[in-house]
Chain A
């Protein structure tokens, strides 16, 4: 697929994130500062704004997507997300084509970069856990479609619901986080849902 594929998905992604904003803010408010929905909405509005200008080079296009989040927010989640996009951007620099067989490898570098930047480990109830689950699924079956990936992400959310969050601001409320969905995991799911072609 070419960058134009991504460009085609951006309007519905933005729409989906707009409609998820309240849910994400609410989840975040129970454990953090309650602005995760705002972070995602600001980022996706910026994505819409630069949609037409996205270059054909996947590397530079993904860099611009990363910047859409870093430009509009100082929040850690925005930076972590952008870090994953940047790591993928570096892999794809100078390439106009992307094949779904590359996804497993790209998610792998993204996951490593996000882990390194956020100093978080797998299993601490963060966005890293569903990213890792999706990556493993793609590795075992490169033909996995987006809908199946979203299912894997939902399973991870379910699996972690009753565990305590062990990093970030939410770790201060470890016990309180038990029984709550991690806002970052949910935001990741909403992102994937947003790019499923209609």
Chain B
């Protein structure tokens, strides 16, 4: 393991302190043990709160997306480990400004269990109304007929952005939840990994892969993918990823969608742009229009090298909300 760290058990806590110190105008640390990140400043009264949460190791997901037009608060666990029920409940309390709270996060067993439990506790204790929308956009993680079993990956960035903008417009919890759900339903993602990453506390790589191999469809925690073979040329990889996405949801002529080509951590933007040119050509050949493409590091898996591709299908409402202003330390939309 070759990492910049002190005590591996303090990895997450030291990271959060540094992140808040670097961007005090955006983030503040709260909750027991400081494992809740909330927006700096006070909540706008009667705005629906949006919270997310999950394990560390995916920056900017999840904590990074706390900010204006995005999330209100976030509970954060150790690297790749679920936050506790208590931390999730604290995040919800911080985000609640009188209009209820939407829990918006990825479909992982531990997170779902703990977040549901947190919601139940708050309902019983403090009468806070809350809803849940899960991202389940990774097409390789389960077949379409078992769509509810799919894992949530980079599609959640679109859900944070679009639901976040709806909440800023002071829409009701019901409306924000509907928009978040429709966004989640409109996202499809696929990933490919070239190298593993190392969880600081474990000290060894999450999986083994030969120097000249890649794995298509691998999850962001190293969950097994659909095939492993010799590394292919970039264009072949881009074509296959597009093929897999459109096999799951066809692109029709006239469709408008945003496309994300995302680095899983170590892959440089140069390589993402090599892939993007193929994606753009393919989408436009189908008669569709790309709106606000996102090429960069939006949802990562520590220092894994690899890429994920997400299509977010838009309608008029989602397109306007996607383009509404938002600001966090990792992403600004003006």
Q: Which positions in A face B, CB cutoff 8 Å?
A: 59, 63, 66-67, 70-74, 76, 79-80, 82-83, 86, 89-90, 93, 117-119
Q: Are A74 and B124 in contact (CB under 8 A)?
A: no
Residues of A within 8 A of B83 (CB): 74
Q: Is the interface of B mostly helix, strand, loop or mixed?
A: helix
A sample of 10 inter-chain contacts (CB < 8 A) reads A70-B86, A74-B82, A74-B83, A74-B84, A74-B87, A74-B110, A79-B85, A79-B110, A79-B114, A86-B117
- The residue in chain A whose Cβ has the minimal distance to the Cβ of B84 is A74
Q: Are B110 and A71 in contact (CB under 8 A)?
A: no
Residues of B within 8 A of A117 (CB): 113, 116-117
> Given the complex of chains A and B, what is the CA–CA distance between A72 and B87 in angstroms?
10
Q: State which residues 136-150 of B face A: CB under 8 Å.
A: none
Q: Are B124 and A86 in contact (CB under 8 A)?
A: yes
Residues of B within 8 A of A83 (CB): 113, 117
User: Within 8 Å of chain A (Cβ to Cβ): is B255?
Assistant: no
> Given the complex of chains A and B, what is the CA–CA distance between A90 and B120 in angstroms?
10
In the A-B complex, the 6 residue pairs with the closest CB atoms:
A70-B85, A74-B84, A71-B86, A79-B113, A74-B82, A117-B113
Known A63-B121, A67-B121, A74-B77; contact A119-B84, beta-carbon cutoff 8 A: no
> Given the complex of chains A and B, what is the CA–CA distance between A72 and B33 in angstroms?
12
Q: Is the interface of A mostly helix, strand, loop or mixed?
A: helix
Residues of A within 8 A of B84 (CB): 70-74
Q: Which of A63, A71, A118 contacts B125 (CB 8 A)?
A: A63
Q: Are A70 and B121 in contact (CB under 8 A)?
A: yes
Question: In the complex, how many residues of chain B place their beta carbon closer than 8 angstroms to a beta carbon of chain A?
Answer: 19
A129 to chain B, nearest CB (A): 19
> Given the complex of chains A and B, what is the CA–CA distance between A83 and B117 in angstroms?
7
> Given the complex of chains A and B, what is the CA–CA distance between A67 and B84 in angstroms?
11
User: Within 8 Å of chain A (Cβ to Cβ): is B81?
Assistant: yes
Q: Are A86 and B121 in contact (CB under 8 A)?
A: yes
- The residue in chain B whose Cβ has the minimal distance to the Cβ of A90 is B124
B124 to chain A, nearest CB (A): 6
Q: Are B81 and A74 in contact (CB under 8 A)?
A: yes
> Given the complex of chains A and B, what is the CA–CA distance between A76 and B116 in angstroms?
12
> Given the complex of chains A and B, what is the CA–CA distance between A13 and B82 in angstroms?
28
Apart from the given pairs A71-B86, A79-B114, A79-B117, 17 other A-B contacts in the complex at a CB distance below 8 Å: A63-B125, A67-B86, A67-B121, A70-B84, A70-B85, A72-B84, A73-B84, A74-B81, A74-B82, A74-B85, A76-B110, A80-B113, A82-B117, A86-B120, A93-B124, A117-B113, A118-B113
> Given the complex of chains A and B, what is the CA–CA distance between A89 and B124 in angstroms?
9
User: Within 8 Å of chain A (Cβ to Cβ): is B233?
Assistant: no
